Amino acid sequence: MDIPETHDLEQAQAHSKARVAEFLSALDPEIDRRDDGIAQELANENASARTKLGKIYALLGDVSAAVGPYTPCKKGCSGCCKMNVSITSVEAQRLAAAAGRRMVQVRYPIAHPEDRFAGVPCPFLVDEACSVYEDRPFACRAHFSFDSTSYWCQPERAYMGEMGQLELGGAKKAYVHIATQTSMHGFADIRDFFPRD
């Protein structure tokens, strides 16, 4: 179903939505079953938020491996690294440890307008690549473009219209539950935890 890059928004939206449907029809039913059950599984588990997050990340790793043929996302394509990235305090701690960076203590959720950080690079973006890729947060792991190219991912165009997106309902529900159980009880942007100097 490859269609050449289009700069027509409506065509790109239709194409990306069709590619999401194509991906979902080809997705291993076992991955789909795991997504359906992960929220309940983790809710019943007596484990730390970090351990539960690791299980969600493992599921997203399998999704990411399967999504490869349907997305233009690759190293060096960093449009989505220049938009809002909501994370939990558990993820911020994980990033601080992985990068050896100090994080700001954020005590309450901080909501920003959806385009607040449009064009502002993630503090972990180095030479247009993620410097903490193995430890990247849920928002980065669950975000895929289903267009043919990254044209509509660029910050100056990313908010012009909604493209087809993959909705991982179970993983998202489990992730939100973890966020509400932290001392912060929610999310803040990655830049709130790691402001640029």
Return per-residue pLDDT of the chain as tens, 197 residues: 444 456 889 999 999 999 999 999 999 999 999 999 999 999 999 999 999 999 999 999 999 999 999 999 888 889 999 999 999 999 999 999 999 999 999 999 999 999 999 999 999 999 999 999 999 999 999 999 999 888 888 888 888 888 999 999 999 999 999 999 988 999 999 999 999 86
91-144 tens-digit pLDDT: 999 999 999 999 999 999 999 999 999 999 999 999 999 999 999 999 999 999
Judge contact between 119 and 79, C-beta under 8 A. no
Strand partners, 130: 125
DSSP, collapsed to helix, strand or coil, labels residue 125 as strand
Lookup: tokens for 119: 């064009």
CB neighbour list of residue 70: distance below 8 Å, 6 or more residues apart: 19, 20, 22, 23, 144, 146
CA atoms 3, 9, 14, 16: torsion sign: positive
Give the closest residue to 79 by CA, choosing from 35, 128, 9: 128
| pTM for the predicted model, two decimal places | 0.91
Q: What is the rounded CA–CA span in Å between residue 53 and residue 86?
A: 15
